[in-house]
Structure 1
Amino acid sequence: MTWNESWATVAACKESQDALFVKGAEQNRAKQLCRSCPVKLECLAEALDNDIEWGIWGGMTERERRALLRRRPNVTSWRTLLEAARTSQPSKAPALV
């Protein structure tokens, strides 16, 4: 599967983006929308590479993304990392931890 440059146009949340900017327990419901999204990795890379702090991106909350960034401080391009992981193992989600 190739990287989708215009990922936002086909994202599962494109019609319900307000549902992704919630707090507390509502975040778990919002993350469910991401589960079947065809561009989940593109979305996550966008948030991680641009230090987006608010909302659900690529199925992760801001807290989860901060923790990931702390665990992997040497990653200079999340897009490159996630794209390479997808290319090498297209049937599996890349391990981020």
Structure 2
Amino acid sequence: MLHDYDWGDAAACRDTDPDTMFVEQAKQERAKTTCLGCPVRTECLAHALDNQLEFGVWGGMTERERRALLRRRPTVTSWRELLESARAEHARATTDPRCTAA
């Protein structure tokens, strides 16, 4: 589950200068690379979306990308629940042999 622990302690950026995640334009792409492979990327993104955080790179998305996502999905009331459900479905689909093509 996304909310069972303090996910920030496991974040790939936990020891990074926070200012590197709150940058503009081309530097945002570099900041997003910090999120690649982060074990709590989904939790981070859900936190940013649920709290409508305006600034910084969170969960591998810039503020512009998050705003666009929020506009496309205005009926989502809990990104944490939606992303948790998607993660569980993905795990089932990748481990259930009936879900893989032969």
> What percent identity do the matched residue pairs reach?
59
SS of the residue aligned with 2:8? helix
Q: Which has the larger radius of gyration?
A: 2
Query: Which protein has the bigger helix share?
Result: 2
Ranges in structure 2 where 5+ consecutive residues have no aligned partner: 95-102
1: CA distance between counterparts of 2:64 and 2:76?
Answer: 18
User: Which stretches of structure 1, 4 residues or longer, exceed 2 Å deviation after superposition?
Assistant: 2-5
Which residue is 1:73 aligned to? 74
CA distance in 1, matches of 2:14, 2:67: 24
Hey, what does 1:30 align to over in structure 2?
31
1:77 aligned partner, one-letter code: S
Task: Provide TM-score, normalisation by structure 1.
Answer: 0.88
Shift of 1:88: 1.1
Name the TM-score, length of structure 2 as normaliser: 0.84
Distance 1:40 1:18 in 2: 18
Aligned-residue Cα RMSD (Å) equals: 1.1
Which residue type is aligned with residue 26 of structure 1?
Answer: K
